[in-house]
Every structure is written in C-alpha cells, then in structure tokens.
Amino acid sequence: MRRFLRPGQDPVRERLKRDLFQFNKTVEHGFPHQPSALGYSPFLHLMAIGTRSGAIKLYGAPGVEFMGLHEENNTVMQIHFIPDQCQLVTLLDDNSLHLWSLKQHGGASELREEHRFTLKGPPGSPPSATQVTAVLPHSSREVLYLGTESGNIFVVELPSFRVLEDRTITPEAVLQRIPEDNCNRRSCELVEALREHPKNPDQILIGYSRGLIVLWDLQNNKATHHFLGSQQLENLYWQRDGSKFISCHYDGSYTQWPVSSDNRQPEPLENTVPYGPFPCKAISKIYWQTTKNGLPYIIFQGGMPRASYGDRHSISVIHGSQQTAFDFTSRVIDFFIIFSSDPAAEFDDPSALVVLAEEELVVIDLKSAGWPAVHPPYLASLHCSAITCSHHVSNIPLKLWERIISAGSKQNIHYSSMPWPIDGGTNIAPDPPQRDLLLTGHEDGTVRFWDASGVCLHLLYKLSTVRVFLTDADPNDNMNTLGEDEWPPLRKVGTFDPYSDDPRLGIQKIYLCKYSGYLAVAGTAGQVLVMELNDEDAEHVVDHAEADLLQDQEGYRWKGHEKLKTRDGPVRFEAGFQPFVLVQCQPPAVVTSLALHSEWKLVAFGTSHGFGLFDHQQKRLVFVKCTLHPSDQLALEGPLSRVKSLKKSLRQSFRRIRRSRVSSRKRRGGSGNASEVQEANAKFDQDALQEMELAPVQRKIEARSAEDSFTGFVRTLYFADTFLRDSSRHCPSLWAGTNGGTVYAFCLRVPPAERRMDEPVRAEQAKEIQLMHRAPVVGILVLDGRSTPLPEPLEVAHDLSKSPDMQGSHQLLVVSEEQFKVFTLPKVSSKLKLKLTALEGCRVRKVTVANFGSCKTDDYSENDLAVLTNLGDIQIISLPFLKLQIRYPCIRKEDVSGIASCVFTKYGQGFYLISPSEFERFSLSTKWLVEPRCIVDMPEVTSNNHVHNKSGTENAARKS
C-alpha cells in the first residue's frame, strides 16, 4: 500500500484499511474451458478434469472443489487416480508425468503437485521410443505401467518415478511367445491399452494398435495368451469376473473374447457392428456392465454410420431391447460409468453414465426408466448460449428466492430425482451469510438466474423472452422426440446450444428489483420488456408502446436491422417472470443503459440515439430525449453492421489470448513506479487537492471534440429523489450520462399513490452539465446530507436501510472514464475532483458503490467506490472525499473481454469471464469471502480391495 500513499499517513486509517480491504481470487464458476481429459476415483468418489491450458480440477460433493495448475501450461492428455489413495497421475502432451496428492493443511485438504517425471530413452533413440500412449496404475499402488508408441512397456516406481529397467516389457519379449505366422514386429507397435486383470493383479492385458492383444504374466514375465483381432484396436475392457474381455475397434465393431485357463488359442465369442452393415466410425471406448437380471449394459462411444451420422458426437447405451444413442452438441472428450466398486459384489449394477463433452458435463441416470439426465449442482454450462451481459443482486429476500426456485423446479421435471452421484469429500465451508443471485443474459434471448451465494454456481431458473416475438423457430419443436422406427435411436442431451435463431433477441441489459419482483430486460433490437413474477402459468396480451428517440428529426435514416416482430393476441407464459409491457425503441438500436424504479413504477432506457422514460403502471411513454449529435451518423448504421457484439468481441479476444486465463490466475506484481515524474494539471483546484491528500499527482486530461466519438451514446441512467430546483424542495429525478460527457437531469412529478392511475407522470428538463474534457460518463450517484449514497427503491420501506438525510445539502458524483467529480446540489457547482492518469491510457470501465465491513468488528462498515480500469486494475476510492484507498491488479489489460464482462457486487465481490464458459470470482473485502473449503478423508481399504474401474483411461479425444 505504501506505493500509493505519502509517508506519514494516519496509522489508524492504515490499520482500518487492513481490516476492510483484501484482494483474493477465490473460485472459478462454470465449465472448464477446453477440457481435454477425465478421470474418476471410485474409491474417493471424486472426478478430475484436465484442460488444454494445463489446469486440473477435482470435484466431489457440492462445494468440494480443488484446483491445480501445471507450470508447463501444456495440455492434460490423461488423468489416472492411484487405487485406494488420495493421489492421481497426469500425463501432459509434452510427455511429462505429474503426481498430485490431496494433503490436509490448516484443517482442510489441498491439492499439491508432489513429483514430475519425463520418460527418457537411450541416447539417439527416436521420440516415439518413449512417447507414452497408455498409463496403468497398478493396484499394488507401487508402480505405473507406461505403454509407448514403440511398443515398449516401462515400469515406473511410485512415488519416486524411478524406472525399473529390469521389468520393462519389450516387443521382442512379447513376440517370443507368439507364433511367427500370426504376427510380426509391427504387430507390437503402439500400445493402445493396458488393463489389469480384475481378479488376478499378476496379469495385465496389453492391446496394440494393429489388433494384437496379449495377456501378460507379471510374475513369470511371459505372455500366457494372445488374441488376434482383424481390425485396428481402440480400447479394451475387462468383464467383472475376469472370464472375458471386450475389445473395440476402428471399424465400429466390438468383440467379446474368452480367457481360458488352458493353452488353447482363444477365438472371439462374438463380433458385433452395432450400427452396421454400412461403414461406421470407430468405437473409441466401451464398457460391459453386468446386472442382477442377467442383461448386461453395453455402453460405448462412437460407432455411428459414417455417411449419414459421421458428424454426430454420441454415446450409446444398450440394455436388452433398450437402445439409445445419446447425441451431444459438442465433441465427447471422455466418459466413465459409476457402478459398484465393492470387490465382494457379484455384479456391476451401473447407476450413472458421466460424460465430459467439450462444452458441458452430462450425467445420465441408468437406474430410472427412460434414462433421464441428472441436474448438475456445479459445472454449469454458462455459455449454453453465448453470454451477452451480467447483473448481480445481493441479499435476496427469502420470499422472492423461494418463488424463483419454485418457478425453476417446474422447468426441471424432466430431470432425474437421483442424488448427485459424484459425492466424495466433505464441504466444511460455513453456510453463505445471505442469498445472492447472478443473472446472465444470453444471445438467444434468455436470462438465467444462478445461485451465487456459495462455491457452487447453481442454475435456479431460466427465463425466455422469445415467446413475445415471432422468430423462425417454432417453440413447440421438441428436439428430443424420436420416431418409433428411427435408426440410429438418437436422443439429444445436454443444454449447450451455440446457435441463436435471431441475433436481435440477445439480452443486453438486466435490472431486477428484489423487493417488488419487477424485472426489466433490454435487447439488441431496441426491445425493453418489463416483467413481474407470477407463480402460475398465464395467458395474456403483452401491451406494446413505441419510443421514437429521433423525434421525427429530418435528415436521419436508420440503416441497421429491423425491429423484432411481435405476436398478436394473447401469449401463454409459464410460471415465473412474465412480461406485461414491451417498449420498442425507434430506431431499433442496441439498448445501452437501463434503470428501473419499482416504487415510482418507472423504467428508463437509453440507446446510441437518446433515452426515454416509460410509466409501466399506466403503460404510457412519459418522454424521450434525442442525444444524437450532427456528427453521429455512425449511430444510424446499427450494431449488427458496425459495432461488434459482446459475443463476437469475446470470441475474438479469447482466440487472441488463448492462454491468458492461465496467467490471469496468477496475481500480478506491483503497478507503476511511484517515483515517476508526474505533471500536475494546471487547472486543478489546489484547495481540493490538499483536502484529498492524495499522494499521486493527478495527470492531465485531454479535452475531446464532439466529433471524437459517439457523443449521443447513453452510457448510464440513474433515478434519485434529491434537490434539483432549489434547496428547500426535493423531488424525483432522472439522470442520464452520455458518451460525449454530457449529463442530463430531468425533474419528475410522480402523482401520489391514491391518484397514481388518474394523473400522468410529468417530466421537465432541469439541468444539463457538459464536462469540459467530454469523456464518456460511466456512473452517476447522489449522496445525501450524511454523504451516504441514496438507498435503493423500496429499501427503506422494507426496513433494510435508513431513510436518507433530506435536511443537509446533497452532492452529485459524476464518474467519467477519466475523472471523478463531486458537485453540490442544487447549484451544481464543482466541489471535488479526482483525475485518472489519462495520458497513460487509464480509463474507468466499471464503477459501483460497495459496502465494506470490518473483519474485526461488526460495528463498522463504510461505502466506497469500486472501480475497474481498462488496465485491469481495481481501485477503491473513498466517499465523499475521493481518496484512493488501495489498488489491486486483477485482470490482464490484454483481456478486453474479461474487463468488459466484469460485474461488482454490493458487498465488495466481483465476477468476470476468464473464458466464454467460466467466471472468475474475486473479493475485495476481508469480511465477504466465498471460497472452497473442504476435506477428503481416506476411506477404509478392505483386504484385496483393488479398484477395477479404470475409468480415467486413454483419452478418446486423442483418436478423434
């Protein structure tokens, strides 16, 4: 902190700041970006996911999460848990192996990397000699068997990673026991699979790519049986009793082989092409699961007919006469089956199929009729449709919370009631102190409500605005409907759907009033919908109103997209938030700002052309104000022709900085050098500077001309009950800030409740402030007589806030991209200002008021400004004196999309996208900290309990 402050600052304040502010990146919400490997421990009931950026994440019961990061940042190719241990091994694409352990520290478990190792061959040997293709952790927990491209199988000691050269299984040793007329040296190239015998740990099954399979005796170091497949091998799987195994092949077939005790040459029991007879794609992985009723479950990936279904990503489940091919909208990375791991059990009795696809995790209940999906408590596919905006609401009242959950539960009736099957570990984190909602707007016109109270970001409810409009999609289409005779029997599963019927449906702004249950959402085509919460399905007409923001000005012609067509007559809505009025902006440009005042029943909206105010109780337009400057001709071209959407910007930025998410997890070092020579602004008020006592001398701000940018673009809207005309009478008001540094203030006359429906709301422009530097206005705030921000609408009525001080003078805080400025009200005379380092390119991107409580006492809290800049720094600035308290590096400045997506909470936390599918959660507060805290205990190991569910095996992705 001392780099930001002058020597000799108040030590009491310094201690207080340490009690108030602390920066932590706490947890990543959502689905891992670019997953590449999957593993599962039936012993620990934990699942592991590896990514292409070198991250490894472990998941168990809800709230049980661990994360590790390989320093190399290379792709994780395979993950294998060590049987009966709290350890796992990862294989990276640079051929390195890493041993990770779950260790207890400070009362909780932590994931730590213990050792790393790279298999090396003799000098001069080709890389293929030691390129690892298959990994088998032996049930003895003492060694790893590593199959390679050369056909050699190396034995590595655990945990030291020492190669036991005398135990290497060479192709030459294998060929000694096999007749020459059956195979040659090339038959033993590239080890595709290694499997330990489920009943005899001294035997392993070796599968070579060209189709040769060998049962190897580890005690006598010899091959006891060999099996000759006619097709290229993809994978192997032992049946539970060890009497048979299954091989699957490149041609879409699988073969069942017997394992006899004599020396007879084994012949296949059956060879099946499930989707033949036409050429089929490879079956890359297979399970054969026994059941009490005698009918096995045969579960495999791929195998679809090449010509017609070669582009499908499927996993098929066959059980007797039942057969379903689960069809995923993204590539399947890997899968595993959860079944009985008790070695004394006679049957597998599978209960769940867990599939890791490239964009989502899907769990299928195999116990229930119809094999329904299980609703995941974490790893949500946030980007099932591209995220276009976010909105956070803190401390939701219990009644509203329960109503939202009730509406969401009606949407989930098609899900299984099975408890979440991946339930390892224990969550020991304290219960969240309050209920928080994170709302995400999406490109397909939906708004998703997430429980953001704790570590697990859980979907509560999904709202769709599509029904209001006429689109190309028929809402009655059922993607999952199958014809009785359809073959293959495909069934769509999962929620990831990257395609939008119409980009104009995209949600751009969201505003939820947690006290009244009113919700306003605004979209890409100028649509503003006001909704209220209804616990029952309903059918009603949505009222329409049009707001002509150009006010029939001549010489302007809109060149962008058309508005969305609306449905005529009553529209049926399911329980939840139901729209009752639609305000359509003309021209139908992107809505850039939105504000809702549920007490006054008013909604304000702004675009690049102006802003308007709508009375949603009387369903009447109060006024519109055109902010278009004569130079703003580009504003008439429309966002779909000129301005990049957030989604497009996200995609391009994530491609440009593909690995930035890794660096973003690491806290950056210090900021700029405090000893830099800094120029004082000659126009700056010296008295104000002395009052603020800020160490960094503030830099010059360059004035902009009206032609520099989109000056009419409305950036922020704000309702306030304050002194606008004179100091004796306060009145409702609406404030608007534009891209050209202009602030408009309108005095509103809202009739009392008894005459609210009889008299119209009236508005009159009272003030217009032009900032000299013309920087975009990104925030407006009114402080009451105690210098406290005005409470939210209805907050005082619900006894959750003190009434504002209407006796003393109010102050207006205007935040532009380049400075903070405090004005007195009602005269609007400048009182204080704080300038950012504009000449160094620092700009305010996000600003909000946050309440910071002391971690030492519950009696003290204060309101400060949390500010995110375009450099990725977060600054905390005090109110009302605008003193810089502290600055933290948070987001890489190159991560434009992360900065654009950031949203602050009311209590000093925040979220930003580190990939299209993940939010990074951070905290600026010492008191409000949401992070995983969990423990994994070693279960008791029964004698001879070697787990035979080797589900984290060779990655099917490698063969796709």
pLDDT digits (tens, 9 = 90+) for 490-501: 999 999 987 777
Nearest residue to 915 via CA among 358, 470, 370, 329: 358
Maximum alpha-carbon separation in the chain? 106
The Cα 102–Cα 796 span in angstroms is: 49
Reference 390, options 510, 495, 504; nearest CA is: 510
Cα(109)–Cα(96) distance, rounded to whole angstroms? 25
The CA–CA distances, whole Å, from 334 to 78, 300, 500, 580, 878 equal 10, 11, 27, 45, 51
Q: Which residues of 365-389 are buried (b: 16+ CB within 10 A; e: fewer)?
A: bbeeeebbbbbbbbbbbbbbbbbbb
DSSP 8-state symbol, 838: G
DSSP 114: E
Vertex 617: Cα angle to 616 and 622 (nearest 5): 55
Tokens of 273: 């092409």
CA dihedral 673, 677, 681, 687 (to 10 degrees): 80
Quick one: pLDDT at residue 705? Answer: 43
Alpha-carbon distance of 147 to 132, in angstroms, equals: 6
What is the Cα–Cα distance from 537 to 578, expressed in whole angstroms?
9
Angstrom distance (rounded) from CA 706 to CA 385:
37
Among 468, 437, 446, CA closest to 389: 446
Which pLDDT belongs to residue 686?
34
User: Which of 764, 768, 886 is closest to 823 using CA atoms?
Assistant: 768
d(CA 299, CA 286): 6
Does residue 624 sit in helix, strand or coil? strand
Which domains are delineated in the chain? 31-381+940-959 (2.130.10.10), 700-836 (no CATH)
| Alpha-carbon distances of 918 from 230, 383, 555, 654, rounded to whole Å | 45, 8, 45, 12
909 vs 69, 436, 453, 635, 668, CA distance in Å?
24, 11, 11, 35, 19
Element (H, E) at 686: helix 686-692
Spatial CA neighbour of 331 closest among 345, 344, 315: 315
Question: What's residue 658's pLDDT?
Answer: 43
Rg (CA), the chain: 32
Q: How many CA atoms lie within 13 Å of 924's alpha carbon, on the beta-carbon side?
A: 32
pLDDT of amino acid 690: 35
Query: How far, in Å, are 355, 471, 584 from residue 565 at the CA level?
Result: 39, 8, 10
- List the one residue out of 960, 959, 955 whose CA is nearest residue 75: 955
CA distance 219 to 261: 16
Do residues 134 and 113 lie in contact, with contact meaning Cβ atoms separated by under 8 Å?
no
Cα–Cα–Cα angle for 463, 469, 474, nearest 5°? Answer: 85
- Please, what are the averages of pLDDT over each run of 10 residues along the chain (960 residues)? 53 90 96 98 97 97 96 94 96 96 93 94 83 96 95 94 93 84 74 96 95 93 90 96 95 94 80 93 97 94 94 96 95 96 88 97 96 96 95 96 97 95 95 95 96 96 95 54 70 88 93 97 97 96 95 80 93 97 96 97 96 97 90 59 47 47 40 34 34 40 51 94 89 96 96 92 95 93 93 85 85 95 93 79 93 91 96 95 94 96 97 96 94 89 45 38
Residue 613 in tokens: 């105010």
Cα distances (angstroms) measured from residue 196 to each of 136, 213, 947: 8, 13, 10
Q: Reduce the DSSP state of residue 429 to 3 states and report it.
A: coil
Closest CA to 638 of 563, 717, 548, 739: 563
Q: What is the 3-state secondary structure (H, E, C) of 49-112?
A: EEECCCEEEEECCCCCEEEEECCCCCCEEEEEECCCCCEEEEEECCCEEEEEEEEEECCEEEEE
> Considering the entire predicted model, what is its pTM?
0.88
- Region for 64 from its dihedrals, namely left if φ exceeds 0, alpha if ψ lies in -120 to 50, beta otherwise: beta
Residue type, 848: T
Provide the sign of the torsion angle of the four alpha carbons 133, 138, 139, 141, taken in this order.
negative
Cα dihedral 597, 598, 599, 600 in deg (nearest 10)? 60
The rounded distance, in Å, linking the Cα atoms of 105 and 727 is 60
pLDDT on residue 938: 82
Is 517 in contact with 398 (CB distance < 8 Å)? no
Q: How far apart are CA 620 and CA 761, in angstroms?
A: 9
